[in-house]
Structure 1
Amino acid sequence: MPPEARRPARREARPAAAPTTLRTRIAAAFLLLTLLVCGAFAVAAVNIASSIEDRLIDQRLSRTADSLVELAHQNLPPDLPPSVTLYRGEAIPADLRDKPPGRYTVTQDGTQVNALLRDDLGTRFVLTDSDADFDKIQAGVYGLLGLAFVACLGLALFLAQLTASRIVAPVTALAQAVETGAAPRAYPLLDSTDELGVLSRAFAASTEAQQRYLDRERWFTGDVSHELRTPLAVMLGAAEILKARLSGRDDLVELAERIRRTAADTSERVVAMLLLSRDPASTGAPPTALLPLLRQEMDRCRPLLRGKAVEMTLHAEPDATTLEVPARPELAAIAVGNLIRNACQFTEQGRVDVRLECGRVVIEDTGIGIPSAVRDRIFDRFMQVDPAGAGSAGLGLAIVKRVAEHLGWVVSLEAPAQGGTRFVLSFAPTPDASPTTPA
């Protein structure tokens, strides 16, 4: 049977990430967009306010200087605004005395003020203007901008929740309809012309196609099983009659017995296939003793070992000799029978060991093993271990996996250190159990 395969190291389970709902994503998108837009407007407002402040102060200083020159030409006293101060001659701040005419920013008493240096009166003079009043206005503007920013975020959050609810509600209704198994024709939004309607109709079409496929498969399995029962019963009865009439001819009696046994086995497999096509909850799960069932399947497979130097043995732990599992015996026989049959078929010499342990059955052989190229797909349908196929359709292990899933069991593939193959059929998953896919 299949070559040795190294069991991969178990991966540490990663903590599950907190689920992100569609509603949360929509709200986050609204808030992010609002934050970007409000931030852009805030930056523009600050730049505009600063530019306006500079222009207003420059214009006020320029108008004041022009008025001062005009009044001086008329021999009238200067008329200055309260925030503007005039400096002449030696009173001009020292850091402006050697500067050419123009606008400057200087520090007076620890406060920055705007200064305009001119020489229109024949002598140099300086006008300074404190922007304290502009600072107050600017602080008020910035405060209003902050309040508007917070209000926009709150409004965006409200609109995000409202919009998300309107968008997510139809999707949630569709998901609930699919999850609860509602009829495809009862899905919401089927008449809608938007993208949600397209999604609903796609779900309905896909669900109907799947239901038709499952119905065809169920009907086919049931019909085939039903139609095969009668000819199999006839074959079984004819084999029993033939065996009785051939009394005394041992060679022919043995042949008739093989026909009878094969017909009986086929009849049981047909019943099992019919059960496998049904819902597990509807098939029932009577307690089935495993030790007699293993012996029965081993006896069925012993003809496969004729002419081979192979010894098949059964080992049962003391606590497992009376072990029973909740499963239909026909299905349990398919699972363990296919594994034992594969071990006998692919082992030319050595041993086939069947071990019954508490919670699992182990079938181990010293055969050729499973090639590394097919280990990951060994439970796939139509996957054959040997290139020639050995007369097999490649369905045995796929059926075992399907039966195991039907019964709630776990089948796994291991590689013994001494070679060969080991299949483990666990009746209940344990912390160390491998997944249903092969190792």
Structure 2
Amino acid sequence: MTLSSFNLTSIVNKFRLSYFVFAVLLCATFVSIFMYAETRMEQELVKARLLQQLELSQEKEGEQSIYIADPGIKIYQYDVAPERLKDQATNTVQETSVTVNTKAGITNTNLHFFIYEQNAQEYILTYLEDSELVMANYPVLAIFEQLEDIFANALRVAVILSLLIAIIFSQFSSRQITKPLLDLKKAVEIDHQNLAELTHLPSEVGVLARAIDAQNKKLAQYLKREQLFTGDVSHELRTPLTIILGASEVLASQLADDSYLSEFTDRISNTAKETSEIITALLLLSRNPEKLDNPITSINTIANNEIARLGYLIKYKSVTCTVVAEKDYTVNVRPELLKMALGNLIKNAFQYTDEGDVKITIDSNKITVRDTGLGISEDMMPLLYERFKRLERMNTDNNTISSESSSNKVEGTGLGLSIVQRIMTHMEWQLTHEANESGGSTFSIHYH
């Protein structure tokens, strides 16, 4: 697993990161303790060595302002000590980095120093670390410096091993911790066949499984009620629609060929047919997508039929409609659903275009319906696919939307685009909208 693929939203990765961070913090704690203990031990050893040397020098040389002892020990009376040491020295052994000249050249080493008071006289005792320190001078300090390197190397190895063990353990434990969750995921994915086996578990996974199982039962009951309601309503509506359609046909047959009432009988007939088709489409949408057959359907034929059916909407307008397609394109889909989706887009284009043209373009990837109509304002965009939300005509006199004048209203319920979007989701297609620079809208159905 690469760093770029490490996803912190994953519970498994969170467990792994937690173990690793815990190991890092634990190692940092032990390293800090070791370094503190090592520093304190070195300070005490250096202090004891320097105090020992002060006593020996006083016995051997008497009272002097400066004592020098090899290797690297120098003791000052406070008054003659370097000012830098006076400013920094305390009762606690301190360490600072210095540069010194040796036989091998200029090297960097550490200087240890502290203040000590004896018989009302203060001394600053210093010790300059030197690789030439021999066992005979101060064997305890010499042995400590050797052990210090050994312990430091051992600590590095221990830290590396601890981090490796933490990584390996996190991989194993995270799988064990998340396995019940993965089992729950699989049980939900396979239509809950194994979900009942997890509901009896006393752990948190069992609680979650029981909650999911209870919610699934509620959803199943809700879907069943919705399907029954859809079926019952559709069945009950077909009878009055059939009566309306039959009555409109009888009425049309009794009118003269040039009667102005023929237009109204045609509208009654078309509306009844359209409502019947909507019911058919809704019944198809209420079924599971995998249970529907998808015959080869001609897109060109559907588009031309819808233009002919809805032609009455632009019959008295200065609007032309064209279909652009290099060949007869087909797609595997129920024709009722494609007819409903494309028909709603063409109907909207016809209704909201007073002059200009409506252009339907078909290619191997999408169906585009472009118009030169009203377009869609920015404030309507968030509500574009909401149910019962409709665009009203713009009053050209004051550039405001009119809801009072009946001549400005467009017939419809505001369900068209909502139904189209639902059909797109059902067929796993995509519906997009673009505003035209010259005015109007372009809706595209992407079916590949």
Match of 2:17 in 1: 28
**Structure 1 pair 426/185, CA: closer, same or farther in 2 (3 Å)?**
closer
Counterpart mapping for 1:368-387 below 5 A: 368-386=374-392
Q: Work out whether 1:315 is the aligned partner of 2:323.
A: yes
Between the aligned partners of 2:364 and 2:157, the Cα distance in structure 1 is 71
Partner amino acid, structure 1, of 2:22: L
Write the letter of the residue equivalent to 2:240. P
Change (3 A) 1:87 1:204: farther
Partner amino acid for 1:277? Answer: S
Cα distance change of structure 1 residues 316 and 65 upon mapping to structure 2, 3 Å threshold:
closer
Correspondence for 2:273 among 264, 274, 278: 264
Alpha-carbon distance between aligned partners in 2 of 1:34 and 1:313, rounded to the nearest angstrom: 72
Determine the C-alpha separation between the residues in 1 that align with 2:75 and 2:266: 129
The one-letter amino acid paired with 1:334 is M
Aligned to 1:48: 37
Letter aligned with residue 23 of structure 2: T
Report the residue type matching 1:297 in the other structure.
E
Structure 1 position 404 matched with structure 2 position 404: no
Tell me if 1:167 matches 2:187: no
Change (3 A) 1:250 1:144: same
The answer as to whether partners of 2:57 and 2:67 remain within 8 angstroms in 1 is no
TM-aligned CA deviation for residue 240 of structure 1:
4.4
CA distance in 1, matches of 2:367, 2:102: 95
> 1:309 touches 1:350 (CA, 8 Å); kept in 2?
no
Task: Determine the structure 2 residue equivalent to 1:78.
Answer: none
Asked whether 1:153 is paired with 2:163, we answer yes
Paired positions, count: 388
Q: Secondary structure at the match of 1:181?
A: coil
Q: Give the conservation status (yes or no) of the 8 Å contact 1:365–1:422.
A: yes
Q: CA deviation at 1:265?
A: 3.1
Spell out, residue by residue over 1:152-193, the C-alpha distance to the aligned partner (whole angstroms, 9 max, x if none): 334433442343123211121222222333159527356435
Determine whether 1:291 maps to 2:297: no
- Offset at 1:233? 3.4
Whole-Å separation in 1 of the counterparts to 2:111 and 2:256 = 131
1:342 aligns with 2:362: no
Q: TM-score, normalised to structure 1's length?
A: 0.72
Hey, what does 1:360 align to over in structure 2? 366
- CA offset at residue 327 of structure 1? 1.8
> Which residue pairs with 1:418 in the alignment?
438
Counterpart AA for 1:214 = L
Structure 1 CA distance, aligned partners of 2:194 and 2:239? Answer: 38
- For the aligned residue pairs, the C-alpha RMSD in angstroms reads 4.2
Contact 2:324/2:359 (<8 A) preserved: no
Equivalent residue in structure 2 for 1:395, among 410, 415, 420: 415
Equivalent pair of 1:356/1:362 in contact (CA under 8 Å): yes
Structure 1 residue 223 corresponds to structure 2 residue 198: no
What stretches of structure 2 of length at least 5 have no aligned partner? 80-90, 104-108, 120-124, 126-135, 393-400, 404-408
DSSP-derived class of the 2:310 partner: helix
Alignment CA distance shift 1:36-1:235 (3 Å): same
| Aligned equivalents of 1:115, 1:38: Cα separation in 2 | 31
* One-letter amino acid of the counterpart of residue 319, structure 2: E
Q: 1:115 to 1:45 in 2, by over 3 A?
A: closer
Which ranges of structure 1 fall in alignment gaps of 5 or more residues? Answer: 1-15, 73-85, 121-125, 429-439
Distance (Å, rounded) in 2 between the aligned partners of 1:87 and 1:286: 114
| Larger RCO (CA under 8 A, 6+ residues apart) | 1
Of 272-281 and 137-146, the range deviating more from structure 2: 137-146
1:108–1:259 CA distance, 2 compared to 1 (3 A): closer
Give the 3-state SS of the residue equivalent to 1:174 in structure 2.
helix
Work out whether residues 115 and 129 of structure 1, in 8 Å CA contact, stay in contact via their aligned partners in 2. no
Stretch deviating more after TM superposition (254-263 or 269-278)? 254-263
Aligned amino acid, residue 49 of structure 1: E
Q: 1:418 to 1:146 in 2, by over 3 A?
A: closer
Give yes or no for contact 1:413–1:421 (8 Å, CA) kept in 2.
yes
Q: How far apart, in 2, do the equivalents of 1:390 and 1:256 lie?
A: 19
The aligned counterpart of 1:280 is 289
Q: Pick from 223, 233, 236 the counterpart of residue 242 of structure 2.
A: 233
Quote the Cα distance in structure 2 between the aligned partners of 1:61 and 1:420. Answer: 95
1:34-67 CA distances to partner (integer Å, 9 max, x unpaired)? 2122212212222212322332454466579879
Write the distance in 1 (CA, Å) between the matches of 2:148 and 2:76.
33
Q: Identity percentage over the alignment? A: 29
Q: Distance in 2 between matches of 1:426 and 1:115?
A: 81
Correspondences of 1:29-108 after superposition (within 5 Å): 29-56=18-45, 58-59=47-48, 93=68, 96=74, 99=77
